[in-house]
Structure 1
Amino acid sequence: MKNEQVHAIIGPQTSSQAKFVIELGGKAEVPIVSFSATSPTLSATRSNYFVRTAQNDSSQVKAIASIVQAYGWREIVPIYEDTEYGNGLVPFLLDAFQEIDTRVPYGSRIPLDFNHTQIMRELNKLKAMQKSIFLVHMSALLGSRLFLLAKEAGMMSEGYAWIVTDGLSALLDPVGYELMDSMQGVLGVRPHIPASKKLESFKSRWRKNFTTSKPQIKMNELNLFGLWAYDTVWAIAMAVEKAGIVHSGYVKPNTSESTDDIASLGKSEMGPRLLRSILSTRFQGLSGDFHLGWWRNGFTPDVFRSVVQALPFPLPYEFIPFVNKNKQSAGTYNELLYQIKLKRFDAVVGDVTIIANHSLYVDFTLPYSESGIRMLVLTKRDERDNMWIFLKPLSLELWLTTGIAFIFTGLVVWVLEHRENKEFRGKPVQQLGTTLWFSFSTLFFAHREKVVNNWTRFVLIIWIFVVLIISQSYTASLASMLTVKPLQPAFVDVKEIKRNRYFVGHQKNSFVKDFLVKELNFHASLLKEYETPEEYHHALSIGIRKGGVAAIFDEIPYVKLFLAKYGSKFQMVGPTYKTDGFGFAFPLQSPLVPYVSRAILKVTQDKDKMEEIERRNFGRETTCLDQASMVTSGGLSLPSFGGLFIITGVASMSALLIYVTKFLYIHWPASNTMDQDKPFYMRIIELAKHFDKEDPSAHHLKIAGSSVHPIPSVEIVGASPNIDDAHGHSSTSIEGSGDIIVDQDHDNHTPGSGVANPEPPHTP
């Protein structure tokens, strides 16, 4: 990816390797196509860019369970390798054996690095436990060692039974004589490869070319994984041609240039287009019909088979796909149903919705599926485990606006209090700290700094009211995020989607398109068609801003098929738009219609039967299908509090303007008369100096000054009014204990002297 900037990767070979490479492919948006990584756990990663062209190991579980049930074995011991490949199948095996009442008393897990002695010790342990029925799920390398040692331990004799999964059986043809001899009597399962002229021709050419190029090497037969590998290469080659891939590189992110940084890989420019092309590729390969997309299959045939079994008479049938020579859909549903009128088909048992205009040329049976159209949207992820969740209750704009409001309010308070309040005086750093502390402390407790200006009190009354509302709203929103599971859909209202003219999706060739245009009044230009669940997933995941869709409308069975694979990320929301459901179509006045309809009633009313069919096709997880009622509120945004910020801003600015106007009215003329020749900026500096001085007219400052600096009492005895001192000064004193002596000679008064100290009176 880093050095070659590849568009796709074929591989890796093992499931353990694939788990890591899948993650890289998802980050770089490079399709990872594996023909041999078969562990079911890889599907749980739900990476858009992981494509498996091999059979999932879980597909063989029912066949294995049927064998065990047929032989009547009531107990079985799985022996599996301790890897991603080996461990991934175990949960599926346990479920399958539980359904047929077969016990699994013990599971033998063998690591790849076990030597012969350790494997033999495990086999002897099983022998001592008197276990005799075993299921082996291992790769060929470890499995071959196991069976050689099992024969040595005497466990391949009569009284023991062994079953192997396709991981072993598909690779043991042919093998060495010694291994084949040790595995006599072992029963295995493997996927079916249909015979074809194309396959036989390839085998012939393979033998000829291999013998010519490497005559010294003994040729092995082609195994299943080899055929899958060949078809995989062809599929990617066809997908590249169809997608029109040109030379292009990766879009580099704005990250570190470090060679060890995975994020520096960037994203493939052609990856998303190539992925869609691969998923829609279909052809007849060596291993059979190569088709990765899954849609319109499974549920409908299963129901039809069950209905045929419920008929009172045998009904032979053959499934014929409605496809063209390229194995693509041959037309719309209307065109499919019209084939009955043309007598090209005897019936249509696909996923056909019962619609009135279709009944003009076919007869429908009773519906066999849940009816209705639902809206499918992306679900926002659970944020409760996010270490930064405390920031989520407020939007970024609201955080920034609140912070600016705190600083602005603190500055307004400082301006209003600076000249009159000693709490807001001192060194610049101390004043800045006091200002910020005063503003932010209003969030939590009553501040110790007292305010003396009435305009300050006016500003604070409104500001504290705003802070109260914001803090209470933040607390409530955060509590909701932490205590309620947030299954919040991206969209819940169809009106919102239409109002904003967002794109919506639907299934190609479906009547849902007409429903969206005629019933929900969507403009046709805003509709996008998709064919596979993977395309649905991609369109919803990338969102409306990157060419995706806001929602997808489809019939409930299809939505269930989609949610069975991607249920954790998406939801069905909104109302159910009623339809008549899926039905089977027959020619007009066909005598089969009433019989098939009665059989449908038997099948659909058999809850156990329908639950089995739905579980087989839609999976076990059903809790994510409709949880729109658990929507929680999102984070608080700025518009919700815009009015409060406007009020507090107007109040603060009004108080500030009134105060500044008053100050300028008093001091600006004085600054002009100080020096008419001074430039304007010097006058501004003079005003700033005036502002920085304490206001001597402030009532509280006068009180504070007299209490802090008292004038000492002076007692003068024998003084009389208008006594001239030795210097000819005339003074007046108050006999007794006087507080102040006023010197009437203002010109010669010593500045800063607090009291008069007259000389002693002359002796008569």
Structure 2
Amino acid sequence: MMDEFAEAKKMVDVGVIVDLNSLVGSVANACIHMAISDFYAAHPNFRTRLSLHLRPSDDVLGAAFTALELINEEEVNAIIGPQSSMQARVVMDIGQKAQVPIISYSATAPSLSTTQNPFFVRTALDDSSQAKAIAAIVHLYEWHEVVLLYEDTEYGSGLIPYLSEEFQRFDIRVSSRFPVSPNSGNLTILKKLNNVMATQTRVIVVHMMSSLGSKLFFLAKEATMISEGYAWIITDGLSSLLDPMGADVIGSHASSTKLNIYGFWAYDTVWALAKSVEMVQRESSDIMRRSYRRKASQIPEIRVSTIGRSIRKELVKTKFKGLSGDFSLVRGQLQSSAFEIINVVDKMEKVLGYWTLENGLTAELGKPVKATYSTSLYHELKPPIWPGNMKAMPRGWTIPVVGKKLRIGIPVKPGFEGYLKVKQDPYSDEFIVTGFSYDVFKEALALLPFAVPLEPIRFPIGNNTSSGTYDELLYEVKLQVLRLVLNPNLECFSVYFDH
């Protein structure tokens, strides 16, 4: 009976490289084995079967040696994994030499590309695909500056150029960038958070894996930064691992088996690969008889798959409805259909709306869009709860505790006290400015989307030797001793500044 099965079912060896100690890896491993069982239960008449060879690996060097062992010893014709972008960069080069497709459901760094290596196939979303959605959210709430906090790895830094480009399209300024090493201790992370607090920007975009993100948000909460006035935006990779039922902002327990998007992608990867292998067998059954030949010119010697190229060719053509949505690869990687915008408050999460490439931000999928990226669209979204359990939208900035102040010259001349008056505080020696002209100036500053701390400088104007002239006052602006001068003229109100 077993001989008949062996003749009827062609076993195709497939390697799986996964980090079983991580949240992503533990869930993906369970989903991969579940997918094998489900697929062949649904397709009992298929003449091929995937034979999985699981190998654990949690670092770059280990992943490289594991890939070589799978190719040379187990003679695998495809490898699912590895997990991280840094691991994938090394393993995909080995796969190209062996003509074995490297299929990753979790290496999302934009720097990994099928144009560089046709044997790399990404069954996950490229991180750059979310840059437009994030920029649209920031623009929607009319914030003009953001701070970027990101993991200092290929995964973390790979998204930053794409985010910066999309922010520029909306005239949104990246005021500060803070890379954080994945090996950072609590003290180092707290220093980064203190640097963020020292800026005036309160809109923070976070892009990092869950192991680092869980520590960062725990410490941010301890530092009272998950509070009124702040707006935190986290990218897809981190939000996919959010645990709203956990004790902290982000579930940090690797033993958790809660399903996440990486598990869905891993499940769909197995189905796509199984379909592709079956198509290769149907179209060229003779090529399945000998799946490997040696490539003696390689040091160390690498076996070369004779069906890996065919598997890759069928894989990129495969389309079906998977657990993660429509499975369709364009230029060797999964294409996004929509991003879900989620508001997380304490232990609860709420869907606010969606973003699609065709319609931008929408309250509901398939609902006609009345206005793209406009403030009116904000009212169609479900109202979010902001940090500090606030319903009012954060303005996105605050007056910085430290930093340079705008030095403004205040001309003082008898008879103009109603327009400008300066007196010095006897205790702090600071100048206190009052008057109509100064009130108008402050109202104008209040309309700006950022804080402008002021340092008034008293400048007497008169006929005595201790007083100066208007020309001398304006010359101080040219010398950049002062950046701006108020002119309390009875006929007009003027502001002179250097730019």
RCO higher in structure (CA 8 A, sep ≥6): 2
TM-score by length of 1: 0.33
TM-score by length of 2: 0.49
In terms of fraction of residues, the more helix-rich structure is 1
> More strand per residue: 1 or 2?
2
